[in-house]
């Protein structure tokens, strides 16, 4: 019920916008609340975990320019007026000009690349991406909900049996059963996230299951985002085709000598659009992902979040319509 079905199934009678339920229908809580959950998750990533300026500062302008040159030169040859001639003339100068562009990009990356849009659009474009992220990082917690239901249900069921023996009335079974189901889910969800900080309790130290797995979850979360969301092709695609592409094109124009016509500069910018369509095995993409070190940076910073801040990665899945999930249980 948390994750499926991805799209709403049933009638739309008495269904509010983005609600997982109607009078006769259901949509997984995460797919139904994708925009809200993705926005909250995106805020954590952009505000606390990753800095574009820091990441792009690790690029070596000359080396990155050398890897970009073949694609850009081919784009000039194909798209610019008299392209073959300009590609020949600019060929020897292209690495130098592209290195200037890279340096300008490093200085102004926050103005031409919207990190929030990169992350948010990945989740909004395909709801399954967000579902798979939560399933991956929360697998242990989700399994705990299933297993704990058996244990807590058995314990509370014994109390229900005692009540039936003491008061053998027909109404005791449905009422006690409803209370057992409610209490079982409520206790399980509370144990996932509370207490957030390690809390001594006699010889034991209590902490929410999710917070206690912070090192492991940090690794899984950072791997997923670096492989599925913050990839080199996606970042370059956002530069070349995103909502700030006009600013990027202006940046390229300002970094290239004025003697080069606008049409040639525009054709060169098309080279990045071509690069965004290349697979992750392209040498430029391999280099970008190695130098940006997004996975390592995310993992390092996630592990250093406070337990309360770290909780925000998964808790929204259970906070949204939590009472409904408990009641249904």
Are 325 and 318 in contact by the 8 Å Cβ rule? The answer is yes
Spatial distance between the Cα atoms of 219 and 318, rounded to a whole number of angstroms:
22
CA angle 46, 47, 50 (to 5 degrees): 50
Spatial distance between the Cα atoms of 127 and 35, rounded to a whole number of angstroms:
9
pLDDT at residue 193 in the model: 83
Structure confidence by residue, pLDDT tens digits, 13-25: 878 887 887 878 8
**Alpha helix (H) ranges present in the chain?**
29-32, 34-44, 52-56, 61-79, 83-90, 94-112, 115-125, 127-137, 139-166, 172-193, 209-212, 214-228, 232-241, 245-255, 262-277, 283-292, 294-303, 307-311, 315-319, 322-328
| Burial of residue 170, with CB atoms counted within 10 A of its CB: 0-12 exposed, 13-18 middle, 19 or more buried | exposed
Structure confidence by residue, pLDDT tens digits, 216-252: 999 999 999 999 999 999 999 999 999 999 999 999 9
Question: CA neighbours within 13 Å on the CB side: how many for 186?
Answer: 9
Q: How confident is residue 320, by pLDDT bands cut at 50, 70 and 90? A: low
More confident residue, 281 or 138: 281
State mean pLDDT over 169-182.
73
Structure confidence by residue, pLDDT tens digits, 60-101: 999 999 999 999 999 999 999 999 999 999 999 999 999 999
């Amino acid at each position: 019920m948390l994750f499926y079905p991805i799209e709403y199934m049933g009638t739309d009678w008495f269904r509010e916008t983005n609600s997982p339920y109607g009078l006769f229908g259901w949509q997984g809580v995460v797919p139904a609340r994708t925009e809200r959950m993705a926005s909250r998750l995106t805020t954590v990533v952009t505000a606390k975990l990753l800095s574009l300026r820091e990441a792009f500062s690790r690029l070596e302008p000359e080396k990155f320019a050398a890897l970009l040159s073949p694609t850009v030169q081919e784009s000039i040859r194909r798209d610019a007026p008299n392209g073959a001639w300009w590609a020949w003339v600019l060929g020897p100068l292209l690495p130098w000009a592209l290195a200037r562009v890279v340096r300008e990009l490093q200085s102004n990356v926050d103005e031409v690349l919207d990190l929030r849009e990169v992350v948010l659009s990945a989740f909004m474009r395909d709801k399954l991406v967000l579902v798979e992220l939560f399933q991956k990082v929360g697998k242990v917690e989700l399994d705990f909900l299933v297993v704990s239901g058996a244990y807590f249900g058995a314990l509370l069921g014994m109390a229900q049996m005692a009540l039936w023996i003491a008061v053998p009335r027909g109404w005791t079974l449905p009422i006690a059963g409803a209370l057992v189901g409610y209490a079982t889910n409520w206790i399980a969800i509370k144990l996932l996230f509370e207490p957030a900080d390690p809390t001594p309790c006699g010889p034991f130290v209590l902490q929410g299951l999710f917070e206690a797995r912070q090192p492991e979850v940090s690794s899984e979360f950072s791997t997923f985002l670096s492989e599925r969301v913050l990839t080199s092709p996606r970042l370059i695609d956002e530069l070349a085709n995103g909502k700030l592409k006009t600013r990027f094109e202006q940046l390229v124009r300002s970094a290239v000598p004025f003697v080069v016509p606008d049409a040639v500069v525009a054709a060169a910018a098309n080279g990045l659009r071509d690069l965004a369509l290349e697979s992750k095995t392209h040498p430029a993409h391999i280099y970008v992902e190695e130098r940006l070190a997004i996975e390592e940076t995310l993992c390092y910073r996630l592990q250093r979040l406070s337990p309360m801040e770290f909780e925000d990665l998964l808790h929204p899945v259970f906070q949204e319509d939590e009472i409904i999930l408990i009641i249904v249980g």
